[in-house]
Amino acid sequence: MDVRSQISMVFHLDKCIGCHTCSIACKNIWTDRKGTEYMWWNNVETKPGTGYPTKWEDQEKYKGGWEVKNGNLKLKSTGKARIIPNIFHNPHQPSLDDYYEPWTYKYDELFTAPEGNDQPTAKPISMITGEPMDIKAGPNWDDDLSGSPIYAENDPNFDNLSEEQKAQMFAIERLVFFYFPRICNHCLNPACVASCPSGALHKRGEDGIVLVDQERCRGWRSCIPACPYKKTYYNWQTGKSEKCILCFPRIESGQAPACFHSCVGRIRYLGVLLYDADMIDEIAKLPDNELVEAQRRMILDPNDPEVIRAARENGVHDSVIESAQKSPIYKFVKEWGIALPPHIEYRTLPMLFYVPPMLPVMTSMDGDAKKNMIEGMFPDFDKARAPMEFLANLFSAGNTGVLKYTLKKQMAIRQYRRAVTVGDITMEAAKKMLLEADCSVEAAEEIYKLTTLCTFDDRFVIPPAHREEAIEMMKDPLEYKQQVGFGLREEPMRGA
Amino acid sequence: MNENTFFDYLNLFWFTILPYVALFTFFIATIQRYRGEAFTYSSLSSQFLENKVHFWAMVPFHYGILTVLFGHLIGFLCPAELLAWNSEPIRLYIFEVTGFIAAIFTLVGLFNIIIRRTSNARIKMVTTTADWVVIAIIVFQVITGVYTAVFHSWGSSWFASSMAPYLWSIVQFSPEIAYVTPLPIMVKLHIISAFVIVTLFPFTRLVHVLVVPNPYLWRKPQVVRWYWNRKKIRTTSFKIDRK
Amino acid sequence: MRHFKLESLASKLNWRFAGISSVFALFLCTSLLAQVPTEYYKQNCVSCHTIGGGRLTGPDLKDLSKRQDREWLVNWLMDPEGILKSGDPYAVKMQKESRGAVMTRSPGMTKSLAIALLDLIDEESKLEKSQFAGSQISDRPLLQEDIDEGLALFMGSTKLKNGGPSCVSCHVVNSLDGLSGGRLGLNLTRAYARLEGRKGLSAWLISPPSKMMNPIYKKYPIDEEEILPLVAFLKNETEKDAPENTSAMINFLLFGIGGAVLLLVLFDLIWNKRFRAVREPMVKGN
The predicted-structure confidence for C60-92, as pLDDT tens digits, reads as follows 888 888 888 888 888 888 888 888 888 888 888
> Based on C-alpha coordinates, what's the Rg of chain A?
25
Which B residues in the span 205-224 are in contact with A, Cβ-Cβ below 8 Å?
208, 211-213, 215-217, 219, 221-224
**Shortest alpha-carbon distance between residue A111 and chain B (Å):** 28
Flag if A91 and C7 touch (Cβ within 8 Å): no
The 10 Å Cβ neighbour count of residue A458 is: 15
Range of the domain at B97: 3-216
Q: What's the domain count of chain B? A: 1
A99 to chain B: closest CA residue = B48
Residues 6+ apart with CB under 8 A from A209: A7, A186, A203, A245, A246, A248, A251
Residue C240: pLDDT above 90?
no
A130 domain residue, yes or no: no
Q: Mean pLDDT of all residues in chain A?
A: 89
**Which one-letter DSSP state was computed for residue A204?**
E
- Which residue of B62, B227, B237 is in closest CB contact with A318? B237
Residue B56: pLDDT above 90?
yes
Say yes or no: C148 and C121 in one domain. no
**Shortest alpha-carbon distance between residue C140 and chain B (Å):** 29
Residue A332: pLDDT above 90?
yes
User: Quick one: pLDDT at residue C200?
Assistant: 77
B174 to chain C: closest CA residue = C29
Residues 6+ apart with CB under 8 A from B163: B75, B76, B179, B180, B191
pLDDT bin (cut points 50, 70, 90) of residue B234 is low
Mean pLDDT for the stretch of residues C9-30: 47
B223 domain residue, yes or no: no
pLDDT bin (cut points 50, 70, 90) of residue A164 is confident
Mean pLDDT for the stretch of residues A143-169: 87
User: Quick one: pLDDT at residue C2?
Assistant: 37
Range of the domain at A93: 1-97+140-357
Q: What's the domain count of chain A? A: 1
Q: Mean pLDDT of all residues in chain B?
A: 90
Range of the domain at C221: 144-240
Instruction: Respond yes or no on whether ipTM tops 0.85.
Output: yes
User: Quick one: pLDDT at residue C179?
Assistant: 85
**Shortest alpha-carbon distance between residue C263 and chain A (Å):** 15
Exposed e or buried b per residue across B7-30, where buried means at least 16 C-beta atoms within 10 angstroms of its C-beta:
ebeeebebbbbbbbbbbbbbebbb
A449 domain residue, yes or no: no
User: Quick one: pLDDT at residue C3?
Assistant: 41
B15 domain residue, yes or no: yes
User: Quick one: pLDDT at residue B237?
Assistant: 44
Mean pLDDT for the stretch of residues A104-123: 91
Residue A370: pLDDT above 80?
no
- Which residue of B38, B125, B242 is in closest CB contact with A457? B242
**Shortest alpha-carbon distance between residue A100 and chain C (Å):** 9
Q: Which of A333-337, B74-78, B199-203, C61-65 has the lowest mean pLDDT?
A: C61-65
C107 domain residue, yes or no: yes
Mean pLDDT for the stretch of residues C91-99: 81
User: Which chains are adjacent to chain A, needing at least 3 Cβ pairs under 8 Å?
Assistant: B, C
User: Quick one: pLDDT at residue C11?
Assistant: 44
Taking CA atoms, B235 is separated from A305, A311, A317, A477, in Å, by 15, 12, 7, 22
Best probe of the B interface among A236, A308, A476, by most B CBs < 10 A, is A236
Q: How far apart are the first and last CA of chain A?
A: 57
In chain A, % of residues over pLDDT 70: 91
pLDDT bin (cut points 50, 70, 90) of residue A99 is very high
Q: With contacts defined as CB-CB under 8 Å, which chain C residues touch B28?
A: 13, 15, 18
- Residue A48: cis peptide before it, omega within 30 degrees of 0: yes
Flag if A199 and B235 touch (Cβ within 8 Å): no
Residue A174: pLDDT above 80?
no
User: Quick one: pLDDT at residue C245?
Assistant: 83
C16 domain residue, yes or no: no
User: What does the alpha-carbon distance between residue A203 and residue A185 come to, in Å, rounded to a whole number?
Assistant: 12
B18 domain residue, yes or no: yes
Mean pLDDT for the stretch of residues B50-77: 96
What would the pLDDT profile of B148-184 be if each residue is shown by its tens digit? Answer: 999 998 999 999 989 999 999 999 999 988 899 999 9
User: Quick one: pLDDT at residue C124?
Assistant: 83
**Shortest alpha-carbon distance between residue A389 and chain C (Å):** 23
Query: How many helices (H) does chain C have, and how many strands (E)?
Result: 15, 0
Residue C105 burial by CB count (10 A; 0-12/13-18/19+): exposed, middle or buried?
middle
Q: With contacts defined as CB-CB under 8 Å, which chain B residues touch C166?
A: 83, 86-87, 157
CB B132 within 8 A of CB B116: no
Flag if B226 and A238 touch (Cβ within 8 Å): no
Q: With contacts defined as CB-CB under 8 Å, which chain C residues touch B87?
A: 156-157, 159, 166
Flag if C271 and A91 touch (Cβ within 8 Å): yes
| Domain containing residue A189: CATH number | 3.30.70.20
Partner A contacted by B240 (CB < 8 A): yes
C206 domain residue, yes or no: yes
pLDDT bin (cut points 50, 70, 90) of residue C15 is very low
Q: Which of A215-224, A424-433, C52-61 has the highest mean pLDDT?
A: A215-224
CB A181 within 8 A of CB A16: yes
User: Quick one: pLDDT at residue C7?
Assistant: 44
Residue A287: pLDDT above 90?
yes
**Shortest alpha-carbon distance between residue B203 and chain A (Å):** 16
Cα B3 to the center of its chain, rounded Å = 35
Mean pLDDT for the stretch of residues A206-221: 92
Residue A489: pLDDT above 80?
no
A310 domain residue, yes or no: yes
Q: How many contacts, defined by CB atoms under 8 Å, are there between A and C? A: 53
Residue A477: pLDDT above 80?
no
CB B83 within 8 A of CB B161: yes
What would the pLDDT profile of C250-272 be if each residue is shown by its tens digit? Answer: 999 999 999 999 999 999 999 99
User: What does the alpha-carbon distance between residue C144 and residue C161 come to, in Å, rounded to a whole number?
Assistant: 21
Q: What's the domain count of chain C? A: 3
| Domain containing residue B169: CATH number | 1.20.950.20
User: Quick one: pLDDT at residue A224?
Assistant: 96
Q: With contacts defined as CB-CB under 8 Å, which chain C residues touch A95?
A: 275, 277
The 10 Å Cβ neighbour count of residue C95 is: 17
What would the pLDDT profile of C134-185 be if each residue is shown by its tens digit? Answer: 666 677 788 888 899 999 999 888 888 888 888 999 999 998 888 888 889 9
pLDDT bin (cut points 50, 70, 90) of residue A493 is low
Flag if A313 and B240 touch (Cβ within 8 Å): no
Dihedral sign (CA B174, B179, B184, B190): negative
Say yes or no: C163 and C190 in one domain. yes
